[in-house]
Amino acid sequence: MATTERDYYEVLGVDRDADDAQLKKAFRGLARKVHPDVSGEPDADERFKEVVEAYEVLANSETRELYDRYGHAGLKSGGFRPSQFDLGNLADIFSAFFGDDMFASATGQRRGRGGDIAAEVEIELVEAALGAAREVPFQVAVGCARCTGSGVEPGSDVQRCPTCRGLGRLQHVSRSAFGEFVRTQPCPACDGRGQLVEHRCEQCDGEGHTLEERRLEIEVPAGIHDGQRIRISGEGHAGALGGRAGDVYVRVRVRQDPRFVREADHIFSTVDLTMTQAALGAHVSIPTLDGDVDLEFGPGTQPGETRVLRDRGMPVLQGFGRGDHRVLVNVAIPHQLTEEQRALLRQFESSADEDTYRADEGFFDKLKSAFR
Ligand SMILES: [Zn+2]
Ligand SMILES: [Zn+2]
């Protein structure tokens, strides 16, 4: 695609003489901004890929030189191919470039922010209306106390990795028409740690961290919608070597209530009146978010009539007031009649005349005026 041919410096918004720190800063900021999860632009994937590729090329002095001298064509004939990242995972991409991942860097002597944790709670619609307190269980990685996060069994020997001479990375040099071309990758002999351990820590099996069960009390705010997330900062996985802990994101699922339909902050429900109740009038108990409410329906109530209970809907999240609750009347017509009941109905029908069914404004007129 043509978009991949844009100037890398332009893509990152930096000068041609930008140093490492400037590149890194520009990339971090941009990656967070254009990441498909947050950007919402239709071409977010392409745009993000472009930013990652630009940084990958410019952050490496060899590919940067190649690009500076020969442009995109130089990279192609030099054998450069952009790395394939899981674009959905920003943390993975950052950790590939900066080593932010606490697990990979525990013995790599790098400080890093801990990973985020996703948790979930489910609440009833009625609880969502009032707000609810919930205990959320989750597993969190904490630094191993036995080896203080190094992954090395206390008293055991640690050797510098001979394969990478302690660097944790291996460089592959390939030659091309444009000169030497160097790519680096984590050392497979030591998993990028730079050292070989005689005995792994028995407590954490060399991982440097252990999993701990935790519970967190969270307040679900009134009016929350299904699928919204609550962020609790600093309660996620421990950071590496004193780095900041990650965050916990709790997704709130609001269970459907068979009695109600929620639309934004409004609530809809139906009430079934029997034919006789509708004709004679009745008091009926209606379930609402605040409990049962007694409603009076006058004689001659028609199917399709609605009652609006103002401010009985869902509270507005982080706002004021509540939505409405609308009750739609349904009139139940009998399905099965005994011989005696049929006779009574026939008798009723023969006594009825035009006036019996006449209303000031008929149901269909009302419906029509509702649409006007
Ligand atoms: Zn340990
Ligand atoms: Zn090594």
Q: Token digits for 65?
A: 């030189």
Residue 208 C-alpha to ligand 2 middle, in angstroms?
Answer: 18
* Residues around ligand 2, an ion, CB closer than 5 A: 161, 163-164, 187, 189-190
| Phi (first) and psi of residue 343, to 5 degrees | -60, -40
Count of beta carbons in the 10 Å neighbourhood of residue 363:
12
Q: What pLDDT score was predicted for residue 105?
A: 35
Residue 198 C-alpha to ligand 1 middle, in angstroms?
Answer: 14
Residue 232 C-alpha to ligand 1 middle, in angstroms?
Answer: 27
Q: Give the number of whichever ligand sits closest to the CA of residue 190.
A: 2
- Tell me: pLDDT of 3 over 60: no
Length of the chain: 372
pLDDT over 90, % of the chain: 38
- Tell me: pLDDT of 246 over 80: yes
- Tell me: pLDDT of 23 over 80: yes
Residue 152 C-alpha to ligand 1 middle, in angstroms?
Answer: 6
- Residue-wise over 279-303: b if at least 16 C-beta within 10 A, else e? eeebebebbbbeeeeebebeeebbe
Distance CA 308, CA 315 (A): 16
User: Which of 105-114, 182-191, 227-236, 241-250 bottoms out in mean pLDDT, i.e. has the lowest?
Assistant: 105-114
Residue 136 C-alpha to ligand 1 middle, in angstroms?
Answer: 27
Instruction: Write the pLDDT tens digit of every residue in 164-188.
Output: 888 888 877 777 676 667 777 888 8
Residue 166 C-alpha to ligand 1 middle, in angstroms?
Answer: 21
The DSSP annotation for 338-351 comes to -HHHHHHHHHHHHH
Task: Provide the strand spans (E) within the chain.
Answer: 117-123, 132-143, 158-160, 169-176, 179-186, 195-197, 209-220, 229-232, 248-254, 261-263, 266-274, 282-288, 291-297, 306-309, 325-332
Q: Token digits for 133?
A: 């307190």
Paired with 297 in beta bridges are: 282
The alpha carbon of residue 359 and the mean position of all alpha carbons in its chain are separated, in whole angstroms, by 53
Q: Give the number of whichever ligand sits closest to the CA of residue 205.
A: 1
Interacting residues of 89 by C-beta distance below 8 A, sequence separation 6+: none
Distance CA 241, CA 112 (A): 7
What mean pLDDT is predicted for residues 31-54?
A: 78
Domains, in order of start, for the chain: 1-98 (1.10.287.110), 261-371 (2.60.260.20)
Distance CA 194, CA 187 (A): 8
Instruction: Write the pLDDT tens digit of every residue in 112-140.
Output: 678 888 999 999 999 999 999 999 998 88
Q: Give the number of whichever ligand sits closest to the CA of residue 193.
A: 2
- pTM exceeds cut of 0.85: no
Q: What pLDDT score was predicted for residue 372?
A: 55
Instruction: Check: CB of residue 241 under 8 Å from CB of residue 101.
Output: no
Q: Identify residue 294 by its one-letter amino acid code.
A: D
Q: What pLDDT score was predicted for residue 125?
A: 96
Residue 42 C-alpha to ligand 1 middle, in angstroms?
Answer: 46
Residue 102 C-alpha to ligand 1 middle, in angstroms?
Answer: 14
Residue 202 C-alpha to ligand 1 middle, in angstroms?
Answer: 6
What mean pLDDT is predicted for residues 333-346?
A: 95
- Residue-wise over 149-187: b if at least 16 C-beta within 10 A, else e? bbbbbeeeebeebeebeebbebeeeeeeebeebebeebb
Confidence of residue 66 (pLDDT cuts 50, 70, 90): confident
Residue 143 C-alpha to ligand 1 middle, in angstroms?
Answer: 8
- Tell me: pLDDT of 339 over 90: yes
Using left for φ > 0, alpha for ψ between -120 and 50, and beta otherwise, residue 156 falls in: beta
Q: For residue 177, give the nearest of 89, 70, 105 by alpha carbon.
A: 70
- H/E segment holding residue 45: helix 44-59
Q: What pLDDT score was predicted for residue 306?
A: 95
Q: What pLDDT score was predicted for residue 48?
A: 83
Q: Give the number of whichever ligand sits closest to the CA of residue 196.
A: 2
Confidence of residue 103 (pLDDT cuts 50, 70, 90): very low
Residue 244 C-alpha to ligand 1 middle, in angstroms?
Answer: 20
Residue 148 C-alpha to ligand 2 middle, in angstroms?
Answer: 22
Residue 154 C-alpha to ligand 1 middle, in angstroms?
Answer: 9
Q: Give the number of whichever ligand sits closest to the CA of residue 163.
A: 2
- Tell me: pLDDT of 351 over 80: yes
Residue 149 C-alpha to ligand 1 middle, in angstroms?
Answer: 6
Interacting residues of 241 by C-beta distance below 8 A, sequence separation 6+: 105, 106, 109, 110, 111, 112, 149
Mean pLDDT, the chain, whole residue set: 84
Q: Give the number of whichever ligand sits closest to the CA of residue 160.
A: 2
Query: CA neighbours within 13 Å on the CB side: how many for 339?
Result: 0
- Tell me: pLDDT of 90 over 70: no
Q: Give the number of whichever ligand sits closest to the CA of residue 186.
A: 2
Residue 143 C-alpha to ligand 2 middle, in angstroms?
Answer: 23
Interacting residues of 365 by C-beta distance below 8 A, sequence separation 6+: none
